[in-house]
Amino acid sequence: MAAKIIDGAKVAQDIRAEVARGIKELQDRKNVTPGLVVVLVGDDPASATYVRSKGRACQEVGAFTETIKLPKETPEAELLSIIERLNHDPRFHGILVQLPLPKQISERKVTLALSPEKDVDGLHPMSMGHLMEGEPSFVPCTPGGIQQLLIRYGYDPAGKHVVVCGRSNIVGKPIANLLMQKRAGANATVTVCHTGTKDLASFTRQADIIIAAAGSPRAIKADMVKPGVVIIDVGINRVDDPTDKRGYRIVGDVDYEPVAAKAEAITPVPGGVGPMTIAMLLSNTLRAAKRSVGEA
Ligand code: GUN
């Protein structure tokens, strides 16, 4: 039987509508409009596209938003002083500094400079620590989106063996921490595989749920998964494709068609995890605004 398609675009739309209702309700009750400032350094076209989408999404749900664009030569000290100013700007409940940053700027220093109260990306060590404790303040957007996809499609991770492929700070580490917590929508047995893993297939074959976030095009093949597996593909990889008018095509970390033929459910690329990230950013921004008035 063909796999069920986990439609991230549809779930993201539902979450955006929920956030829009939440914003309206907060405005009516507390006269507070959630605000997000997005900082983009440099002119990477993919980052510029993401940032535009984030700004547009904020406007659609009724959040206040501003984008600060800085040249790629911006010194680290200047970015840090802008963040310091934004930390104290009451119009903004959330600050997002788009990654990656130019090489003269330390991503770690920038993340540490953010006020944890405004860390809607969930990447500050304080947010990471809270997540690890099981008392999350802000869950990073992509892991939060993955968890929502699983819950809303009825694939409760509780008691399941989840195999995460990839150990990045932005996806692999936080999703592993999120799904191992003794909480609703989690409580899974989690294995994390990475570039140091010997015999990856021996782990992925045991998985009830695979979260592929290794950044390696079509690396998860059909003979590496068991029948009935649920697949969450976080990969966004450009591969050459002369038949496409752009000359390239976007593929995930999973060899989609043959794996889909064995899976119970699978996220497409694009249209799976991708749209969820912005939806969760909006949700975190609403949460930050609620926290600023002592709620959430
Ligand atoms: N670049 C790619 N994904 C992300 C993200 O989730 N947050 C930030 N800040 N930058 C990114």
- For residue 91, being part of any structural domain is answered with yes
CA of 102 to the centre of ligand 1 (A): 14
Do 266 and 257 contact (CB within 8 A), yes or no? Answer: no
Answer whether 98 contacts ligand 1 (Cβ < 6 A): yes
Instruction: Compute the mean pLDDT over every residue in the chain, rounded to the nearest whole number.
Output: 98
Do 159 and 207 contact (CB within 8 A), yes or no? Answer: no
Any catalytic annotation for residue 206? no
Is the confidence at residue 1, as pLDDT, over 80? no
Answer whether 181 contacts ligand 1 (Cβ < 6 A): no
- For residue 39, being part of any structural domain is answered with yes
pLDDT tens string 175-232? 999 999 999 999 999 999 999 999 999 999 999 999 999 999 999 999 999 999 999 9
Q: Quick one: tokens of 280? A: 């969760």
Confidence class of residue 56 from pLDDT cuts 50, 70 and 90? very high
pLDDT tens string 221-276? 999 999 999 999 999 999 999 999 999 999 999 999 999 999 999 999 999 999 99
Do 101 and 73 contact (CB within 8 A), yes or no? Answer: no
- For residue 9, being part of any structural domain is answered with no
Tell me the pTM: 0.97
CATH number of the domain within which 84 lies = 3.40.50.10860
Q: Quick one: tokens of 192? A: 């994390």
Answer whether 121 contacts ligand 1 (Cβ < 6 A): yes
Q: How many structural domains compose the chain? A: 2
- For residue 133, being part of any structural domain is answered with no
CA of 127 to the centre of ligand 1 (A): 15
Confidence class of residue 160 from pLDDT cuts 50, 70 and 90? very high
Three-state SS string over the chain comes to CCCEECCHHHHHHHHHHHHHHHHHHHHHHHCCCCEEEEEEECCCHHHHHHHHHHHHHHHHHCCEEEEEEECCCCCHHHHHHHHHHHHCCCCCCEEEECCCCCCCCCHHHHHHHCCHHHCCCCCCHHHHHHHHHCCCCCCCHHHHHHHHHHHHCCCCCCCCEEEEECCCCCCHHHHHHHHHCCCCCCCCEEEEECCCCCCHHHHHCCCCEEEECCCCCCCECHHHCCCCCEEEECCCEEEECCCCCCCEEEECCECHHHHHCCCCEECCCCCCCHHHHHHHHHHHHHHHHHHHCCCC
* Positive or negative: CA dihedral 105, 106, 108, 110: negative
Do 275 and 9 contact (CB within 8 A), yes or no? Answer: yes
- Find all residues with CB under 8 Å of 146, minimum gap 6, and list them: 175, 211, 232, 234, 273, 276
Query: Cis link prior to 270 (omega < 30° from 0)?
Result: yes
Any catalytic annotation for residue 4? no
Among residues 115, 130, 152, the one where a domain terminates is 115
pLDDT tens string 79-119? 999 999 999 999 999 999 999 999 999 999 999 999 999 99
CA of 98 to the centre of ligand 1 (A): 5
- Find all residues with CB under 8 Å of 144, minimum gap 6, and list them: 122, 178, 276, 280, 283, 284
Confidence class of residue 19 from pLDDT cuts 50, 70 and 90? very high
CA of 14 to the centre of ligand 1 (A): 22
- Cα(152)–Cα(168) distance, rounded to whole angstroms? 25
One domain, residues 163 and 249? yes
One domain, residues 79 and 185? no
Given the residues 13, 30, 44, 98, the one annotated as active site? 98
Q: What pLDDT sits at residue 2? A: 87
One domain, residues 190 and 153? yes
One domain, residues 260 and 146? yes
- For residue 262, being part of any structural domain is answered with yes
- For residue 285, being part of any structural domain is answered with no
One domain, residues 154 and 263? yes
CATH number of the domain within which 170 lies = 3.40.50.720
Range of the domain at 54: 31-115
